[in-house]
Amino acid sequence: MGYIIESLRQIAGAEPSRPEKDRISARALEVHLHKKANPFSKAEFEEIYAVHGKGRTKWRNRRWATLLAVNLLFVVSYFFDIQILEGALTASRFVGFHMADLNSALQVMLAYKHLVLNLVIGTVTVFIIWVLLGGRTFCAWVCPYHLISELTEKLHLWLTERKLVSDHRFDRRARTLFYLLFALLALGTGYTVFETISPTGILSRALIYGPGIALLWVGLVLLIEIFYSRRAWCRYVCPIGVTYGVVGTLSPIRVKYNVKHCHHEGDCRKVCLVPHVLSMTIKGRATNFDMDIGADCTRCGMCVDICPTDSLDFVLGYGKKSQ
Amino acid sequence: MKEKTTVAKRVKKPLSAKRKAQSRREFLRTSVLAVGMTGFSLLGFLPVVQGTSLRLRPPGALKRTDDEKEFLSSCIKCGQCVQVCPVQAIKLADLEEGFGVGTPYIDAREQACDFSCDGLQCVLACPTGSLNHALNFPADTRMGFARLSRPSACLAIQGKGFQGQARGPQFPGLLRYDEVDRWNPIPVADHPYDLELCDLCVRQCPIEIRITQCAEKKVQASGEKVARVAEQVGNECPPVHAIALERVEMPNGELRMSPVIKEGCVGCGVCEMICPPEPPAIVIDIHKITDLT
């Protein structure tokens, strides 16, 4: 329950709560005190980095392969008329079974104000799938905008390193505001307003049905991300992320953090799209020996890849303990 | 007393002047983002209000001529209708249509809906019922209404015949010719005509073709079993003619043969596609549908 509440708080845009001293479990406290008494030496750091060569890409490779496979299946299915995955990411049919993107379905239902049976079937199917697979896993493992934005992010980081641009942060609560705003706009105007500017829908349709001028909008958002604010769309705007984040609070697939060997050097938070979910990796913040990363996490696995001490890993199950 | 509360509560450090300025800037930035993003998304209203997003829509679209609101709101913009159409008549609208982005439309002159799927596949494919599932037969469709927009260009009115490919050798449009291949539409360019008097709009009208087939069936009127469910139901035979070539009095008093659009026209656009002159003499008016109920 604490996990769900803290996850929802963070999805809404609140800063991660700082634990009171007396909330830290005995076992975690023991680790904290031990580390305080025996700080890591520089040599130890270097040894660890040498063993776990940085730049592991295991999860990234798996993720990119999955993302490309899903999106190309749409394309191939239409191009060769093999009818495996028809439609686009907003709504589709997988070997005949209805699927509907939760956020698109929500927008349509708010705008149209009718419950359509096929849409309900598709929405429930997709809801169950993403509860099982991790909620915001959709973002990192399926959304085509995520992949492109990930690539342009490298350019942004390259430019920031050279002090040519700097990252301007927004208030994370903006995303919640957008979520409510677009829901109200759909309800009030009777049009699916968000769908008009959603890069996910635009890109998915462009891939399958051919490019159009809507891609200029996606390009503009990418330019803003490169020159002004890192991953701005996913971090501060996209309501799809909120929808799937909420679904993910129920998911058994999580990234787990174990405090024991962590060096608290913060590499994980530097690569993360949503670094607030990793606040427990800051020195002295972990309240438990093992902790589940909150549901705003896209399960992209970049922190798992980069962690030099294997303190972060995927688990299946709720609140699993390590030996 | 005062001391006690400060001990019990975590003391919030006052922000430094620099942090204060930073958070003020962040607030301003966020406000600009919120206003900008919302403003941009609402630009989608313009084409809808101005009516420039109005289009010829696929069969069964939830709309009433000039009011597409229900259609635009219920469409989930997935393009499943595009994928099932055997003649690829359906395209998806781009961002210049505003809220209509990703919704299906038909450019009849390029490729009309010729109902060669018979079963209204786009309607069946629609996951939201935005193409209304209550629609069963082509004759019940209400997409628009044909209009003789340039009578002076009409070959029939000029008393001319037509030889060759209706839209030239380069035209990629498809039509189903039952006598050639009942199941697969072929390029119009592969089916040249040789007509004494041009009657292409009447000859290729899917409603007229169906009426003729039904009439032939009636003439045969044997105990022969009909294959298609639609025919067994019996509703598939269109009740009213859609277009006919009739002798009409011209403004100058002359009597000429001319296409006349009838109550049964559903606005599928085949006449607009097949009409040889450029621009065509006959077009689909999307602001009108038949009064027939």
What per-residue confidence (pLDDT) applies to B166?
95
Q: How close is the nearest chain A Cα to the Cα of B69, in Å?
A: 7
Any B CB within 8 A of A68 CB: no
DSSP assigned state of A14: P
Q: CA-to-CA distance for B212 and B191, rounded, in angstroms?
A: 20
pLDDT, chain A, mean: 92
Nearest CB to B30; choose among A104, A108, A174: A174
Does the residue B69 lie in any domain? yes
Q: What are the phi and psi torsion angles at B174 (to 5°)?
A: -115, 150
Interface of A with B in 283-312 (CB under 8 A): none
Inter-chain touch B128–A116, beta carbons under 8 Å: yes
Overall average pLDDT of the A291-299 stretch: 94
What per-residue confidence (pLDDT) applies to B7?
42
What per-residue confidence (pLDDT) applies to B12?
64
Specify the range with the lowest mean pLDDT, choosing from A266-275, B196-205, B249-258. Answer: B249-258
Q: Which residue has the tokens 């070539």?
A: B245
Whether A157 has a pLDDT exceeding 90, the answer reads yes
Percent of chain A topping pLDDT 90: 79
Question: Side by side, which strands form the sheet with A91-94?
Answer: A85-88, A91-94, A97-100
Inter-chain touch B33–A202, beta carbons under 8 Å: no
Does the residue B5 lie in any domain? no
Question: What DSSP string describes A113-137?
Answer: ----HHHHHHHHHHHHHHHHHTSTH
Whether B258 has a pLDDT exceeding 90, the answer reads yes
Inter-chain touch B26–A78, beta carbons under 8 Å: no
Q: How close is the nearest chain B Cα to the Cα of A228, in Å?
A: 11
Whether the CB-CB separation of B214 and B292 falls below 8 Å is answered with: no
B200-243: per-residue pLDDT in tens? 999 999 999 999 888 877 666 555 555 544 444 445 788 899 99
What per-residue confidence (pLDDT) applies to B8?
46
A162-191: per-residue pLDDT in tens? 999 999 999 999 999 999 999 999 999 999
Does the residue B32 lie in any domain? no
Does the residue B10 lie in any domain? no
Q: Which residue has the tokens 């006959």?
A: B282
What per-residue confidence (pLDDT) applies to A224?
97
What per-residue confidence (pLDDT) applies to B117?
87
**A243 vs B134, more confident:** A243
Does the residue B153 lie in any domain? yes
Q: How close is the nearest chain B Cα to the Cα of A8, in Å?
A: 21
Overall average pLDDT of the A133-160 stretch: 96
Whether the CB-CB separation of B141 and B135 falls below 8 Å is answered with: yes
Number of domains in chain B: 1
E strand intervals along B72-112: 90-92, 104-106
Whether the CB-CB separation of B89 and B106 falls below 8 Å is answered with: yes
Whether B6 has a pLDDT exceeding 70, the answer reads no
Structural domain boundaries enclosing B125: 50-220+228-285
Overall average pLDDT of the A259-270 stretch: 91
Whether A316 has a pLDDT exceeding 90, the answer reads no
Overall average pLDDT of the A59-68 stretch: 96
pLDDT, chain B, mean: 88
Does the residue B43 lie in any domain? no
Label residue A23 by pLDDT band (50, 70, 90): confident
What per-residue confidence (pLDDT) applies to B229?
44
